[in-house]
Amino acid sequence: MLEQIRHDNILELHLARPPVNAFDHHLSRALREAIEAAPASGARGIVLSGRPGMFSAGLDVAAVLELDAAGRMAELWREYSTLCRAIAASTVPIVAAIGGHAPAGGAVLATFCDYRVMARGEFRIGLNETQVGLSVPPEIQTGLRRLVGAYRAERLMVAGAMVGPDEALRIGFVDELAEPDEVAPRALAWLRALLTLPPQAMSKTRAIARADLVAAFDAAYRNDIDAFVRDWFGDESRTTLKAVLMKLKAK
C-alpha cells in the first residue's frame, strides 16, 4: 500500500495500492503518519511517487459509495484532509513525482507539495470534482490559486478541467516535465539542490511562505467536513459518481 525507499537523507514514499492508488482511510492514514515521522528518522526531504502511468486517482470512489453513514464518510474525509494538511505543514520539503494521471485527489496532493515533476505523455492532471458532482473545498481552492492565479484557478475548478503535461507546465500547475522514467530522478535532483542551502534560513523562509496554506486548512476544517459529507450524500453527487463507477467497470 505504501513503500518507503531511502535515498540517503531523502525519503521516497511510493504509493502502491492497485489499481490506481486510490485513497481510503488506511492509505490516507499511512501516508500522513509516514510524512509526519520522516523528519525524526533523519529525512530532510520527501518524494511522493506513484506507479508508472498513474500517480493517484484520489479518493476510492467504489469504497466510499458503499459508506451509508454520514459518520463513516466524515471519518474518511477527515483522514484525507488531515493528510493534505500534513503535506502543507511538513517541516521538510516534499516533491510530487507525477508519473502519470493525477485527477481529483491525486492533483490535490500534488498541489500542496513544494514542487511538482510530471511525466510527458498522454496524461492528465486536474481538479475534476465538479464533473462528478462534488464542490471544491475552500482550502483546496487556496492551494490551486497559489499555483496558477485566481482567475485561471476559477476557470479550471468550475469546469472540472483536466489538462495535459504541456498545458500544466505553461500555466504553472506543475514545475517541470520529464520522460516517465526520469520523473523520480528529477524530483530527487531538485530536492538535493534545495538541500544544499543553509538549512535554518531555507526552512524558516519556507515555513513563512507556506503559512497561508496551513491557515486555510485550519480556518475551514469543521465547516469543510460537514459540507463535504452533505455533498457526498446528495442525490446529484451519488448519482453522478455511480455513473462514473459504472463507466470505469465497463472498461
User: How does residue 78 score in pLDDT terms, banded at 50, 70 and 90?
Assistant: confident
pTM for the complete prediction?
Answer: 0.91
* Within-domain flag for 239: no
pLDDT at 9 over 90: yes
Please tell me the predicted confidence (pLDDT) of residue 128: 94
* Within-domain flag for 219: no
User: How does residue 47 score in pLDDT terms, banded at 50, 70 and 90?
Assistant: very high
Domain that holds residue 175: 2-194
Q: What is the CATH number of the domain that holds 147?
A: 3.90.226.10
Q: Kindly state the cell numbers that stand for 225.
A: 467536513
* Within-domain flag for 9: yes
Q: Mean pLDDT, the chain, as a whole number?
A: 91
- Specify the number of domains making up the chain: 1
* Within-domain flag for 247: no
Q: Rounded to 5, what percent of the chain is helix, strand, coil?
A: 55, 15, 25
Q: Do 207 and 91 contact (CB within 8 A), yes or no?
A: yes
Q: pLDDT exceeding 90 applies to what percent of the chain? A: 74
The burial of 179, by beta-carbon neighbours within 10 Å (0-12 exposed, 13-18 middle, 19 or more buried), is given as exposed
